[in-house]
């Protein structure tokens, strides 16, 4: 089965073609970073307008790159939620129209599930596994028992890890999105230079909290010590506080579930320190740690096409009443 995937949940318009036997045939991502950068974050109305402009050329490019016309496509998968409603509706209406015109089955993909299964584009992982999903909008741990079998083990009580990275970068005077800037700066800094707070909550909790860390950084930057600090050391120490908690809680959750497999996903899992520490700590705990390559950690449609292919070929089809949804369907 060959599936066209479309993703427009936030500030990336993406399309991809995935084939069960040939694998990923194309993956196109059009980023709106230049549009939102000036505002220090994603402006929902601008995002929808950009998706409207990009969706057709992006889908055309993905089909061309995959040398696939409508006849070669067996189904269409599209992100239905969670995300920005106006943005989601652009991709959703486009996908519904294609499905109707081409007479191909449609699958409404959950964005979080797409991230959680993205690892299969490059790696073989056995079920069950524990997935740490860390992005701009979400920071959660899941037990993944199979395709469509996802149970949330815990999540953030306040900010998502990516949001904490982005807000910290803003406080340090860098643009949006800031996670990647902090990652780069931190390579030249000392992660043990400043002791920023780690919110561990209860030791057996799979929940997270990053708002205290954000406040601690703001207070520190406004202090005389903060004003004189090397920005690389601040970035490395701040990043370490996030990474340490993420890795500790992910491994702890997997151990409590009795599952020796951990999968990372979402934009923040592109972070080099998180990747290195998850591998090191995972190996020390006897755990198999699988990571998608960086381009498949951040938003893309390859993961949507893959999930769509698995679900459509299992007979799971969405009806014409498929609608977009803003909030996560998973609860703690
Ligand atoms: O998954 P994603 O592309 O979109 C959402 O669904 O949210 O994640 C975007 C988030 C942003 O907060 C961005 O700053 C963060 O991922 N991010 C990073 C890195 N690359 C992207 N955070 C830390 N280090 C990175 N290298
Ligand atoms: Zn995402």
Domain parsing of the chain, residue ranges: 2-116+298-313, 126-291
Sequence-distant (6+) residues with CB within 8 A of 304 are 5, 6, 7, 14, 16, 77, 78, 79, 109, 114
Is the pLDDT assigned to residue 26 strictly greater than 80?
A: yes
Q: Residue 176's pLDDT is what? A: 84
Q: Residue 212's pLDDT is what? A: 96
Rounded to an integer, the average pLDDT of 111-124 is: 98
Give this prediction's pTM: 0.96
225 pLDDT band, cuts 50/70/90, is very high
87 C-beta neighbours (distance < 10 Å), count: 29
**Which residue's CA is the closest to the ligand 1 atom numbered 14?**
179
Please tell me the CATH superfamily of domain 2-116+298-313, with its number: ATPase, nucleotide binding domain (3.30.420.40)
Rounded to an integer, the average pLDDT of 31-46 is: 91
Sequence-distant (6+) residues with CB within 8 A of 118 are 265, 292, 296, 297, 300, 302, 303, 306
Q: Is 137 exposed, middle or buried (0-12, 13-18, 19+ CB in 10 A)?
A: buried
CATH class of 126-291: alpha beta
In this predicted model, what pLDDT tens digit does every residue of 192-218 receive, in sequence order? 999 999 998 888 899 999 999 999 999
Token couple for 16: 């991809």
219 pLDDT band, cuts 50/70/90, is very high
285 C-beta neighbours (distance < 10 Å), count: 15
Q: What is the mean pLDDT of the chain?
A: 97
Rounded to an integer, the average pLDDT of 17-38 is: 95
Instruction: Report how far ligand 1's centroid is from the alpha carbon of 136 (Å).
Output: 5
Instruction: Report how far ligand 1's centroid is from the alpha carbon of 98 (Å).
Output: 30
Q: Residue 330's pLDDT is what? A: 93
In this predicted model, what pLDDT tens digit does every residue of 152-185 receive, in sequence order? 999 999 999 999 999 999 999 998 889 999 999 9
Which residues line the pocket of ligand 1, CB cutoff 6 A? 10, 135-137, 162, 165-166, 177-180, 183, 266-268, 270-271, 298-299
**307 near 64, Cβ under 8 Å?**
no
Ligand nearest to the CA of 7: 2
Rounded to an integer, the average pLDDT of 301-323 is: 97
**Which residue's CA is the closest to the ligand 1 atom numbered 20?**
180
**Which residue's CA is the closest to the ligand 1 atom numbered 21?**
267
Report the residue among 155, 165, 175 best suited for mutation to probe ligand 1: largest number of ligand atoms under 8 A from its CB.
165
Instruction: Report how far ligand 2's centroid is from the alpha carbon of 8 (Å).
Output: 10
* CA 76 to centroid of chain Cα atoms: 21
Q: Residue 324's pLDDT is what? A: 98
State how far the Cα of 188 lies from the Cα of 192, in Å rounded to an integer.
12
Q: Residue 90's pLDDT is what? A: 98
Q: Do domains 2-116+298-313 and 126-291 have the same CATH topology?
A: yes
Q: Residue 177's pLDDT is what? A: 86
């Amino acid at each position: 089965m060959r599936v066209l995937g479309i993703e427009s949940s936030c500030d990336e318009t993406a399309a991809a073609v995935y084939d069960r036997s040939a694998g990923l045939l194309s993956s196109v991502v059009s980023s709106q970073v230049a549009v939102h950068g000036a505002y220090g974050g994603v402006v929902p109305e601008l995002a929808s307008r950009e998706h409207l402009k990009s969706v057709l050329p992006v889908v055309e490019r993905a089909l061309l790159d995959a040398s696939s016309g409508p006849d070669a496509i067996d189904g269409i998968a599209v992100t239905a939620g969670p995300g920005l409603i106006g943005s989601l509706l652009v991709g959703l209406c486009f996908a519904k129209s294609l499905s109707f015109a081409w007479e191909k089955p449609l699958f409404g993909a959950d964005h979080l599930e797409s991230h959680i299964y993205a690892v299969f584009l490059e790696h073989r992982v056995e079920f069950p596994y524990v997935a740490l999903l860390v992005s701009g909008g979400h920071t959660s741990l899941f037990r993944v028992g199979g395709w469509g079998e996802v149970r949330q083990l815990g999540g953030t009580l306040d900010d998502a890890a990516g949001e904490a990275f982005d807000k910290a970068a803003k406080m340090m005077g860098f643009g949006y999105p800031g996670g990647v800037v902090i990652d780069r700066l931190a390579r030249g800094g000392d992660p043990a230079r400043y002791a920023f707070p780690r919110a561990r909550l209860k030791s057996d909790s799979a929940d997270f909290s990053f708002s205290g860390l954000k406040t601690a950084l703001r207070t520190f930057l406004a202090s005389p010590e903060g004003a004189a600090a090397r920005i690389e050391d601040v970035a490395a120490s701040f990043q370490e506080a996030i990474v340490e908690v993420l890795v500790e809680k992910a491994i702890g959750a997997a151990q409590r579930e009795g599952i020796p497999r951990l999968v990372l996903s979402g934009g923040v899992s592109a972070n080099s320190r998180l990747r290195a520490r998850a591998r090191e700590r995972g190996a020390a705990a006897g755990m198999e740690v699988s990571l998608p390559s960086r381009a498949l950690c951040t938003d893309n449609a390859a993961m949507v096409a893959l999930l769509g292919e698995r679900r459509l070929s299992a007979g799971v089809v969405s009806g014409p009443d498929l609608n977009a949804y803003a909030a996560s369907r998973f609860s703690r």
